[in-house]
């Protein structure tokens, strides 16, 4: 049997498999599995704030690209001094990657504002550079926006039980802040401090010039300002592999206090 015959049989087998799968999976099941078609003009802007992540910065770019979604990766280095910039300089130029350098460290919020200002995609998502979050969840998160059901999608770390078990204090602090934020916004979110916030680009373009928080307070500020604009919120469960402070985690108790201040200020 020649190569063309083998290839033809393989194609026929794949078509038959696709037909059987399509027949077995109802439209509702396909939706629950994140099976849907992307519009031809869809592009996801992935904003990655980076500060001293020399061990993981190249891995996170690779894992984002591995999603095979139409991407615009905007990486904002916020004054790294550990060799991260050397890693970034070693990357070849690419159409899907923009690298922006802050001359000095200003904080995650400042890096996000810079990234949001450069985003041109259909939707914008934040990706931390420390690999706590899995970019394979992107497709599941963008679905409500693509299907016209949401303007904003938050990935919740607490919406399911298929995850590593976190420390109790971590869960309690996050729930405390989230509940206070819910009282402030009138929403019923389960994880306001999540990194994975997917937002329609037109909406974030309106809000970005008004953002003021330089550190992690931007999570609260952004949520309050989105709620004020009557954005349609959606939540979906995501995977989360928490790292400890000895591994470089940067958020601290002062950021919790700042979150409370942001709820009052904004």
Closest CA to 132 of 72, 215, 66, 48: 48
Domains and CATH numbers, the chain: 41-265 (3.90.550.10)
What's the mean per-residue pLDDT of the chain?
A: 86
User: What integer is the mean pLDDT of 149-176?
Assistant: 80
**92: burial class by Cβ within 10 Å (0-12, 13-18, 19+)?**
exposed
pLDDT at 174: 77
pLDDT at residue 24, as a whole number:
62
Least confident segment among 59-63, 82-86, 172-176, 205-209: 172-176
Mean pLDDT, residues 14-41: 71
Higher pLDDT, 261 or 147: 147
pLDDT for res 176 = 80
pTM confidence score: 0.81
For residues 60, 63, 67 and 70, what is the CA-based torsion angle, rounded to 10 degrees? 50
Place of tokens 């469960």: 237
User: Does the structure show a pLDDT above 70 at 2?
Assistant: no
Give me the pLDDT at residue 159, please.
72
At 87-119, the pLDDT tens digits run: 999 999 999 999 999 999 999 999 999 999 999
Q: What is the pLDDT of residue 13?
A: 65
- 143 has a pLDDT exceeding 90: yes
Three-class DSSP category at 235: strand
What mean pLDDT is predicted for residues 141-154? 97
pLDDT at 36: 82
**Whole-number Å distance between alpha carbons of 67 and 113:** 24
For the stretch 166-214, pLDDT in tens is 677 667 777 888 888 898 899 999 999 999 999 999 999 999 999 999 9
Q: Please, what is the end-to-end C-alpha distance for the chain in angstroms? A: 71
- Tell me the pLDDT tens digit for each residue of 210-264: 999 998 789 999 999 999 999 999 999 999 986 554 544 555 556 566 666 666 6
Q: Which residues pair with 45 in a beta bridge?
A: 72, 124
For residue 165, what is the enclosing H or E element? none
The neighbouring-strand residues paired with 48 are: 75
With CA atoms as reference, report the closest residue to 98 among 72, 126, 130, 123. 72
Q: Which residues are CB-neighbours of 31 under 8 A, at least 6 positions away? A: 143
pLDDT at residue 175 in the model: 84
- Please give the pLDDT value at position 245: 47
Structure tokens at 242: 């928490």
Position 41 confidence tier, pLDDT thresholds 50, 70, 90: very high
pLDDT band at 49 (very low <50, low <70, confident <90, very high): very high
């Amino acid at each position: 049997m020649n190569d063309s015959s083998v290839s033809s049989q393989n194609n026929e087998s794949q078509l038959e498999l696709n037909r059987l799968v399509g027949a077995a999976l109802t439209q509702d099941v396909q939706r629950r599995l994140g099976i849907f078609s992307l519009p031809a003009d869809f592009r996801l802007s992935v904003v990655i704030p980076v500060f001293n992540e020399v061990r993981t910065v190249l891995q996170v770019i690779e894992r984002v690209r591995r999603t095979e979604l139409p991407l615009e990766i905007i990486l904002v280095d916020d004054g790294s001094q550990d060799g991260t910039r050397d890693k970034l300089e070693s990357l070849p130029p690419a159409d899907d990657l923009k690298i922006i350098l802050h001359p000095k460290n200003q904080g995650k919020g400042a890096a996000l504002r810079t990234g949001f200002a450069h985003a041109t995609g259909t939707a914008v998502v934040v990706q931390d550079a420390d690999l706590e979050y899995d970019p394979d969840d992107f497709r599941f998160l963008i679905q409500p926006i693509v299907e016209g059901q949401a303007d904003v999608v938050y990935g919740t770390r607490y919406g399911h039980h298929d995850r590593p078990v976190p420390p109790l204090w971590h869960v309690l602090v996050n729930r405390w802040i989230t509940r206070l934020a819910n009282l402030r916004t009138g929403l019923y979110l389960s994880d306001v401090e999540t990194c994975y916030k997917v937002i329609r680009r037109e909406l974030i373009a309106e809000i970005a010039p008004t953002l003021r928080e330089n550190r992690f307070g931007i999570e609260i500020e952004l949520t309050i300002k989105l709620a004020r604009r009557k954005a349609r919120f959606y939540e979906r469960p995501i995977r989360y592999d928490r790292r400890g402070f000895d591994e470089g985690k940067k958020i601290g108790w002062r950021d919790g206090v700042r979150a409370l201040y942001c709820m009052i200020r904004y």
